[in-house]
Every structure is written in structure tokens, then in C-alpha cells.
Amino acid sequence: MKVVLEELTKKFPNRNKKEPDVIAVNNFNFEIPDGKLIGLLGPSGCGKSTALKLICGLEKATSGKIFFGESDVTNVPPEKRGVGLVFQNYALYPHLTVKENIMFPLENLKGDKKLTKSQMEEKALETAKLVQIDDLMERKPSELSGGQQQRVAIARALVKMPQVLLLDEPLSNLDARLRLQTREEIKRIQKETGITTIFVTHDQEEAMSITDLIVVMKKGFIQQIDKPQEVYDNPTNLFVAKFLGTPQINVFLGEIKDEIIYIGNEPIMDAKGVKDQEVYVAVRPEGFIPDEKGSLTVKLEAVEVMGRDTTIIATHEALDGSNLRAIVSADLDLDRNSDTVKFSLKPNKVFVFNKDTEMRIRLESDN
């Protein structure tokens, strides 16, 4: 089932009436293709949960429309939208067993959808098998690990075979190892069921690793919608470039003069056809090549050997923010006693943004 958002906006009135309304979701226009897993990604307060609540009907839109397939569901109540919901805190019923928790959504089915007890049990078992908790059916939630509880919550959301599955930070309460495991599970389950799924997270790595499409959001505005690799390789603005990638992208204050990009007084790249202006020059950590003839000189602070690769930590007067981190191959022979390192830069790992608008300036080398 595809999901279409059309000029969808949600405003919350400010408690202080003299202050303007909070626009949590600002004019969202996009289509979530049928059967895909899409991630809503952004920092706290950017409107991810509000967008999800609008899609499932727990919040009413201020304006705009929501379609599931061809049907307009904007004013359809949540229980009639055919959505499955999973929250961060599992929200299982503590006094019910795993089986009873999973069966719960089936109990209230009415009319020709009404199921007998044995049909409900069969469906619960089928779904439990899908999320691999069928051996835990008689346990209470308190007798399960966090990861198992989250699987029960996913099974409960799936048991009615929803048209759309909505996951709101479903991994945040799990420890690092379980988070990794559960996110792979979610991807597997989503693939197996083919249910259009919307996954809310503030964790870029999570979004990058399992989604088909990422919607990057900031303060209620969509910044970019693309495949994960495309968002990483081709950010539309400085915010997106900084939000994706660990270690974070390195940002320098620079300048374009006579079609050449400068960091400090070192010319680092051509910018053919681009007019003179102040810019941010952002370089991914893997974009630096140690090179005696390189054009960028930085002050060496430390070298961290990480096994497979090496991190060079350095400073530079034009850096906007913390130390520079360059990731290079562990095979390279680096002179650790030197005060400085010279780098040449991989053009496809360098992005240039206008200093005022922070929007990307496309260079010839970007094509």
C-alpha cells in the first residue's frame, strides 16, 4: 500500500499566546512507495513523531491530506486505517502472556472479520513464528529480555496484517548489540511481509542501514528525500551533510575566488563557473589522502590506529567546529613525529555550501 502525503501540515498553538504556533510538520509532500521501508530521520523535536501520529490518525492534521493507496484517510479514525504501531517502550500488557498480548488486537474484530478462539491462536502463533518468539508464548512480559519484548510488540502490531506498519524509535531501549540484531530482524520481517513501513529514528546509522528511503527532517521541514547512499554521497545542504556519517564530516570556512576554492590561503580545488563568495567546504573523513604534494596543510594532533584503518586527528585555523578526523588506510606509512600533514582531497568526498544559505554549490566535479 503506497502512502501519499499532500501538503500535510500540523501546527500546535503555543502555550504563550504571544508566541507564534509551533509548526511541527510543515507542508510535507511525498509518496512512500508500496512495500518499502522508509526512515524519518532528524534530531529531537524535528517533527518525526508528529508526522507518524498524523499518518496513523492519533493527531489531526491542521491542513493537507493523507492517502493510503487511492483512498483519502485524512479524516478516518486510527482504528479504521489498518495501521500497526510499535513504540519505543513496547507498551505490552504486563498481566497477559505473550500469546494473549499478540492476540489482543484480534479480540475486538467485529462482523465478518470476527475470529474464533482457535483462529486467533493460529494467527498469533503464525505471527510469533515470523518474529521468532513462538517458544515464549506462555511467558509474561516481565520474564522476557528487552529485545524479546520488542518482538512481541512487533508481532502484536503485525497480527492484523496492517496495510502500513509504523515504528517510533523501536530500538532506543535496547542495548547496542540487541539494537543491531533487532534492526536486522525488522528489515527481514519487513521484506518477508512486504508491508509498507515507516521507521522513526534520530540515529543516522540505523536509518542508513535498513531503510530503502530516508526523509531527513529539521524543525518541521523536509531537507532531503533519497536513498540512504545518495543522501550520504549527495547532501543538498550543510545540515544533511553534517547529520549523516560517523565520524562527522569535517567543515572548513573557505572562499571561492577566481573560480578556485581556498581553505585559508591554500587553493584546494577548482570551482569552474562559480562566482566569488564565502563558503563552507565539507570533507568526509575518508576524503583525505596523505600526500606530500597535497594542497591542504593541517597541524597533526594524534594518530589513532583502529586495526583496519587509521584516524588522523588534526587541527586547522579554518575548521568550523572540533578537530579534523581523517580516516586513511592502516597500511600507509605516516610520520607521526611531524608537526603537520599535507593532504590532497578526493573530489567526490568534498561538498561546498554557500555560507549564508548553507545550500550546496554544485561543482563540475560533482557530475
- Contacts with ligand ATP by CB under 6 A lie at 12, 22, 24, 42, 44-50, 202
CA-to-CA distance for 105 and 174, rounded, in angstroms?
25
Residue 12 bridge partners (DSSP)? 22
CA dihedral 25, 28, 31, 34 (to 10 degrees): 10
Q: How far is the CB of 367 from ligand ATP (least distance, A)?
A: 34
C-beta of 99 vs 179, nearer to ligand ATP: 179
C-beta of 45 vs 78, nearer to ligand ATP: 45
Q: How far is the CB of 360 from ligand ATP (least distance, A)?
A: 24
Q: How far is the CB of 59 from ligand ATP (least distance, A)?
A: 8
CA-to-CA distance for 45 and 173, rounded, in angstroms?
19
C-beta of 42 vs 57, nearer to ligand ATP: 42
C-beta of 172 vs 311, nearer to ligand ATP: 172
Burial state string for 103-119 with b = 16 or more CB within 10 A and e = fewer than 16: bbbbeeeeeeeeeeeee
* 125: amino acid identity, one letter: L
C-beta of 12 vs 93, nearer to ligand ATP: 12
Are 152 and 90 in contact by the 8 Å Cβ rule? The answer is yes
Q: How far is the CB of 110 from ligand ATP (least distance, A)?
A: 31
Strands 164-168 and 277-283: unpaired
C-beta of 223 vs 310, nearer to ligand ATP: 223
Q: How far is the CB of 166 from ligand ATP (least distance, A)?
A: 12
CA-to-CA distance for 127 and 102, rounded, in angstroms?
8
C-beta of 199 vs 252, nearer to ligand ATP: 199
Cell matching residue 320:
568550523
Q: How far is the CB of 170 from ligand ATP (least distance, A)?
A: 13
Q: How far is the CB of 19 from ligand ATP (least distance, A)?
A: 11
* Residue 285: φ, ψ to 5°: -55, -30
C-beta of 25 vs 157, nearer to ligand ATP: 25
- CB burial class (10 A; 0-12, 13-18, 19+) of residue 224? buried
Q: How far is the CB of 306 from ligand ATP (least distance, A)?
A: 30
Give the sheet arrangement for strand 260-263, strand by strand. Answer: 266-270, 260-263, 250-257, 277-283, 350-354, 360-361
Q: How far is the CB of 351 from ligand ATP (least distance, A)?
A: 25
- CB within 8 A of 37, min separation 6: which ones? 186, 187, 190, 197, 199, 210, 211, 212, 213
* 126: amino acid identity, one letter: E
C-beta of 45 vs 294, nearer to ligand ATP: 45
